[in-house]
Structure 1
Amino acid sequence: MLQAPIDCARAETPEDWLTRHGGEAPVLLYCPAALMARHDRFRRGFPGAVTYAVKANPDPAVIAALVQGGMTAFDVASPAEMALVRAISAEAVLHYHNPVRSRGEIAAGIAAGVASWSVDDAGELDKLVACGVAPGTEIAVRLKLPVAGAAYDFGAKFGADPALAQQLLTRAAKAGFKVSMTFHVGTQCTDPGAWVAYMQACARVARAAGVRLARLNVGGGFPSGRDGGAPALEPIFAAIAAGRDAFDTPSELACEPGRALVADAMAYAVRVKARRGAALYLGDGIYGGLSECPSIGVPRVDLVADDRRAAAAPRAFALWGPTCDSLDRLPGETALPGNVAEGDWLLFRSAGAYLVGVTTCFNGYGTYDRAEVERLWTDPSRSLG
């Protein structure tokens, strides 16, 4: 659900904005400077081309900011995402790496000038040929492995095992396509070894197929700072750079981060509607802006007291959403100051990924305000670049 920024002065921090403007609706607080800092960190550190996975946050303001900051390529998963990017940048390079497409979607991708298509199945490769994807276009074979280290695994839905990947590479090369490989280590992966294991497997598959990869796209999965700290990206970048040694002739590298680029550029403020002992009832929940919590856990949550009172010792609280569904509860218990009260705000950090575009309006909830802030932390020395 895309919404325009509300009409108010920009605030220095989320706490400043909430103190000045209050209100009842949840507020998504966006810091453009944090987005640009993270983009710059990827461009400086990753040893190849950096693209953006639009699904993570399809807000046109985010896409436009990345384009202005030098982003030239985007991973799109549907014709709607192609149109979104094309409306902002006619020259952007499009990677259509959702590996299952209807024939109509393939036609839309051809019309939009998609430069790279992923495949993980022989039938899908045949479909691209039959629909007229031109020889010389990049076909990236998507590999899957039983590699641990992520919050959840994408291989359950997409990806070819090494034997099938080898067959697909051979067939794509014989059909005249420029062959590459791609993979996704899984969401919020913190283990650099996961990328290395995939890269080594890609090298073995390409060698067995007798092809030289035009490019190796190491996908997404890079972590965001959901615990409130800056994620350890540099060890992953270094491992990927070293992983190229597995190839007889190193290929160009590309990555497609989504969460790691945008999550830490936003925070989400939700008001406490009621307190019942150790249970807090909030103005939003799992059907709205907190929809990721059941699958990936609750990020760092800070209290912004309505009257600026000093925080008491922490205690564990159950957090309930506002709908009439008893499933509308955040998982586990969340430690917060024991004097949290009705009217206070809970500030959920690392909220920029999978909130815009995923939020529903179940029970009439799900709408939120938008605002910009100059920085996301009250402590000016804190950085999530």
Structure 2
Amino acid sequence: MLQTPIVADTADTPATWLARHAGEAPVLFHCPAALDARHARFRAGFAGEVTYAVKANPDPGVIARLVAGGMRGFDVASPAEMALVRGVCPEARLHYHNPVRSRAEIRAGIEAGVVSWSVDEMGELDKLAAEGVGRGAEIAVRIKLPVQGAAYDFGAKFGASPELALALLRRAAEQGYLVSMTFHVGTQCADPRAWTRYITACAELAREAGVTLARLNVGGGFPSGRDGIDPPLEPIFAAIVEACAAFDTPPPLVCEPGRGLIADAMAYAVPIKARRGDALYLADGIYGGLSECPSIGVSRVELLPGDGRAPAPTLPFALWGPTCDSLDRLPGETALPGCASEGDWLLFRSMGAYLVGVTTCFNGYGTYERAELARLWTDPSRPLG
């Protein structure tokens, strides 16, 4: 872990841990059993190789836990992530699927033993060849489509149009590369039809290009349970297999989940510093561990009263962060028990993705404690994560 977590008693919940240990800093609770369970669910349900997108949570402890569970493939986006993974798992297979790289980064990837490179532009493919990515290396052509169903679209930044993808497939094959394809449906996508559309398009393009794909990487985008509902992974797994019937020869599959693997294994407890009418001022906000809220919304929140009092009927609250910046406000209004007050805690679920590695120390805030729990929720009927 980036910080050594305090290991709690096996009977502890976030509420009981906070009652005994909490200070004024937010606390990131980690449940290793929940991560193990989600990893096992992917390995049992996905019909191909399961890898991990390191950007979602670059905690060495998370990577080590996944390696212990059998993972050997990782999606890395920079030389620093390559070094991080190699330090934990020297034999790891590295997929460098950030499709824009400097020449120095390409050389670093070659030195690190990258086995797969994505491309979405002709100049980037030429750059790989010029810097020494030789014949036989895997080149994964990344496409983008106007597909709905995600919290936000990844195609706005990366991905080739179908016409350009066709040209890239032909050029990569002519240059002697091992030709694959990849895509990303967008983050927090719960609609299996998004994968179906992409896979069907990949099959059509491969056929038109006259290539047999070495692999098909269906990317990430798998949802977490941010809304408190178990994420619908199995229908997505089934849709992926069914869609591959569009290929003359279905290629081996790879996926690169980040959020879908790690988010539900962590919860984030943030103390309330003050209440002003229907506004709550928190000890963290959008510049810290809650940085995703403006782009993806507020995950399910549970009020943990500091004195154990009974909950009251819910009211809509504005949630403000601790900095002096007036932008430091969570979007919309959040329904919480009307008894919420200074000294209480808010427990945000599914916070394992894009908190570690993204949190800043703007205005002197952003530090948090770590604690390891056997379960994350007070209600024993809920899943571990």
The TM-score with structure 1 as length reference comes to 0.98
Identity rate, percent: 74
Instruction: Tell whether the 8 Å contact from 1:30 to 1:266 is kept in structure 2 after alignment.
Output: yes
The equivalent of 1:332 in structure 2 is 332
Following superposition, the deviation at residue 8 of structure 1 comes to: 5.6
Cα separation, 2, equivalents of 1:33 and 1:305: 26
The equivalent of 2:37 in structure 1 is 37
Matched, 1:258 2:258: yes
Local SS of the residue matching 1:280 = strand
Following superposition, the deviation at residue 9 of structure 1 comes to: 3.9
Counterparts in 2 of 1:284-299, with a 5 A limit? 284-299=284-299
Following superposition, the deviation at residue 20 of structure 1 comes to: 1.2
Q: Deviations over 1:245-269 (max 9, x none)?
A: 0000110001000000000000000
Matched, 1:306 2:318: no
Local SS of the residue matching 1:317 = strand
The equivalent of 2:137 in structure 1 is 137
Following superposition, the deviation at residue 33 of structure 1 comes to: 0.3
Q: Deviations over 1:120-176 (max 9, x none)?
A: 000000000000012101000000000111000000100001110010011001111
Matched, 1:181 2:170: no
Q: Deviations over 1:353-384 (max 9, x none)?
A: 00000000000000100110001112223215
Matched, 1:5 2:7: no
Following superposition, the deviation at residue 15 of structure 1 comes to: 1.4
The equivalent of 2:203 in structure 1 is 203
Instruction: Tell whether the 8 Å contact from 1:229 to 1:384 is kept in structure 2 after alignment.
Output: no
Matched, 1:74 2:74: yes
Local SS of the residue matching 1:139 = strand
Counterparts in 2 of 1:217-366, with a 5 A limit? 217-366=217-366
Q: Structure 1 counterpart of 2:82, which letter?
A: M
Cα separation, 2, equivalents of 1:7 and 1:378: 19
Change (3 A) 1:50 1:6: closer
Q: Deviations over 1:271-313 (max 9, x none)?
A: 0000000000000000000000000000000001100000000
Change (3 A) 1:43 1:6: closer
The equivalent of 1:94 in structure 2 is 94
The equivalent of 2:22 in structure 1 is 22
Counterparts in 2 of 1:101-180, with a 5 A limit? 101-180=101-180
Instruction: Tell whether the 8 Å contact from 1:10 to 1:372 is kept in structure 2 after alignment.
Output: no
Local SS of the residue matching 2:280 = strand
Following superposition, the deviation at residue 13 of structure 1 comes to: 1.6
Change (3 A) 1:180 1:384: farther
Cα separation, 1, equivalents of 2:307 and 2:198: 51
Following superposition, the deviation at residue 79 of structure 1 comes to: 0.3
Local SS of the residue matching 2:376 = coil
**277-286 vs 373-382, which deviates more?**
373-382
Q: Structure 2 counterpart of 1:257, which letter?
A: P
Instruction: Tell whether the 8 Å contact from 2:8 to 2:373 is kept in structure 1 after alignment.
Output: no
Following superposition, the deviation at residue 239 of structure 1 comes to: 0.2
Change (3 A) 1:8 1:90: closer
Cα separation, 1, equivalents of 2:8 and 2:153: 42
Cα separation, 2, equivalents of 1:262 and 1:247: 31
Cα separation, 1, equivalents of 2:379 and 2:166: 51
Cα separation, 1, equivalents of 2:370 and 2:181: 39
Instruction: Tell whether the 8 Å contact from 1:319 to 1:334 is kept in structure 2 after alignment.
Output: yes
Q: Structure 1 counterpart of 2:142, which letter?
A: R
Instruction: Tell whether the 8 Å contact from 1:10 to 1:371 is kept in structure 2 after alignment.
Output: no
The equivalent of 1:216 in structure 2 is 216
Following superposition, the deviation at residue 17 of structure 1 comes to: 1.1
Local SS of the residue matching 2:294 = helix
Change (3 A) 1:217 1:8: closer
Cα separation, 2, equivalents of 1:343 and 1:80: 39
Q: Please, what is the CA RMSD of the aligned residues?
A: 1.0
Local SS of the residue matching 2:275 = strand
Cα separation, 2, equivalents of 1:236 and 1:384: 22
Cα separation, 2, equivalents of 1:10 and 1:109: 43
- How many residues get paired? 384
Instruction: Tell whether the 8 Å contact from 2:6 to 2:372 is kept in structure 1 after alignment.
Output: no
The equivalent of 1:58 in structure 2 is 58
Change (3 A) 1:184 1:384: farther
Matched, 1:48 2:77: no
Following superposition, the deviation at residue 6 of structure 1 comes to: 4.3
Following superposition, the deviation at residue 61 of structure 1 comes to: 0.4
Instruction: Tell whether the 8 Å contact from 1:38 to 1:384 is kept in structure 2 after alignment.
Output: no
- Following TM superposition, where does structure 1 have runs of at least 4 consecutive aligned residues deviating by more than 3 angstroms? 6-11
Local SS of the residue matching 1:271 = strand
Instruction: Tell whether the 8 Å contact from 2:33 to 2:384 is kept in structure 1 after alignment.
Output: no
Q: Structure 2 counterpart of 1:3, which letter?
A: L
**17-26 vs 266-275, which deviates more?**
17-26
Counterparts in 2 of 1:365-380, with a 5 A limit? 365-380=365-380
Following superposition, the deviation at residue 7 of structure 1 comes to: 4.5
Local SS of the residue matching 2:248 = coil
The equivalent of 1:381 in structure 2 is 381
Q: Structure 2 counterpart of 1:266, which letter?
A: M
